[in-house]
Amino acid sequence: MPVTDVSHDMDTLTLTIVAEFAAPVDRVWQVYADPRQLERVWGPPTYPATFVDHDLSPGGRVTYFMTSPEGEKFAGYWNIVSVDEPTGFTFEDGFAHEDFSPNPAMPVSRNEYRFAPTDGGTRATYTATYASAEGLQQVLDMGVVEGSSSAINQIDELLAR
Amino acid sequence: MTEDDEDRADALFHALADRTRRDIMRRVLAGEHSVSALAARYDMSFAAVQKHVAVLEKAGLLTKRRNGREQLASGDVAAVRSVGSMLTELEQVWRGRIARIDELIATDNALES
């Protein structure tokens, strides 16, 4: 299991995921540096991601959309704050309208991705911090949009038996 | 499980077993929608969409409120959470991404050897 630790801190409004990968730091960096690789990992299989702009440099902008099984598009953007190639980067992650203009009705999270070498490969630490409890809750609610589709698919399978 | 729990599970599963109702749920979980705006998205009568909304409401998956002549529906996240823990689901999104990175890396290793 590559995920080694998960923590939700409701006081600092932070979600932290730690994972171990059997590859050097440079290789893990490449997943984020190459939009074609990134879109293979960002959206769940039922909501594939397409990256449109991809400027992974300080002040740069990354835009993407995920496509639902019904063909509906959910757009998002990253504003890159800092980059320490290949050990990590920080960015703001927000929801966007279809033209990729930020949707101010949705919360923005501050993210820090860090990649550190270990004996066998790389330890990745992903942290996402929200400005308010309402914002975190709203994103968790949005998570259900993605997550419920897999839960609901399981229900479908159960009913098909 | 008590009889009430079983009845509630029946209502949830019945409500979610329909494609249109799952689609309505995805929409109303993302934000409040008027029933007429929901109905505009489907190739069926307003009354038919109203019936779907009523099934979801009866299962406790969404709540409705009136605003003037409009009926506004929003997803009841607490109810959805009772189907499966919401935080666990969000964590699954992350786990999914990480599993896919693992697969991507494994593909390189297979190509090299």
Instruction: Convert the pLDDT of each residue in A87-124 to its tens digit.
Output: 999 999 998 998 999 988 888 889 999 999 999 899 99
Q: Tell me, what's the pLDDT at A13?
A: 74
Question: Pick the residue with more confidence: B76 or A136?
Answer: B76
Residues 14-53 in B contacting A (C-alpha not used; CB under 8 Å): 16-17, 22-23, 25-26, 29-30
What is the chain B residue with the closest CA to A37?
A: B104
Query: How does residue B65 score in pLDDT terms, banded at 50, 70 and 90?
Result: very high
Q: Tell me, what's the pLDDT at B4?
A: 66
Q: Tell me, what's the pLDDT at A62?
A: 97
Mark yes or no for CB contact A27/B105 under 8 Å: yes
> Rounded to two decimals, what is the model's pTM?
0.62
DSSP-derived secondary structure letter, B31: S
Percentage of chain A beyond pLDDT 90 is 48
What is the chain A residue with the closest CA to B84?
A: A151
What does the longest C-alpha to C-alpha distance in chain A come to? Answer: 52
Query: How does residue B86 score in pLDDT terms, banded at 50, 70 and 90?
Result: very low
| Alpha-carbon distance B79 to nearest alpha carbon in chain A (angstroms) | 12
- Whether residue B110 lies within 8 A of chain A, CB to CB, comes out as no
Mark yes or no for CB contact B29/A156 under 8 Å: no
Measured CB to CB, residues of chain A less than 8 Å from chain B are 2-3, 6, 8, 15, 17, 19, 21-23, 27-28, 31, 37, 40-42, 44-45, 68, 70, 124, 126, 139-152, 155-156, 158-159
Query: How does residue B81 score in pLDDT terms, banded at 50, 70 and 90?
Result: low
- Helices then strands, each counted (H, E), chain B: 6, 3
Burial of B16 (0-12, 13-18, 19+ CB in 10 A): buried
Angle (deg, nearest 10), helices B3-16 and B19-30? 90
Query: How does residue A35 score in pLDDT terms, banded at 50, 70 and 90?
Result: very high
Angle (deg, nearest 10), helices B19-30 and B46-58? 70
Euclidean distance between CA atoms B79 and B62, whole angstroms: 8
Query: How does residue B113 score in pLDDT terms, banded at 50, 70 and 90?
Result: low
Q: Which domains are assigned to chain A?
A: 3-160 (3.30.530.20)
Euclidean distance between CA atoms A48 and A67, whole angstroms: 6
Residue with tokens 């399981």: A154
Query: What amino acid is encoded at A99 in this protein?
Result: D
Residue range B30-52, pLDDT digits in tens: 778 999 999 999 999 999 999 99
Residue with tokens 């902008």: A61
Helix extents (H) in chain A: 25-33, 35-41, 133-160
Is there a contact between B50 and B63 (Cβ–Cβ < 8 Å)? Answer: no
Assess if CATH 1.10.10.10 describes domain B3-112: yes
| Alpha-carbon distance B47 to nearest alpha carbon in chain A (angstroms) | 23
What is the chain A residue with the closest CA to B9?
A: A155
Euclidean distance between CA atoms A30 and B107, whole angstroms: 14
Mark yes or no for CB contact A148/B83 under 8 Å: yes
Residues of A in contact with B22 (CB under 8 A): 149, 152
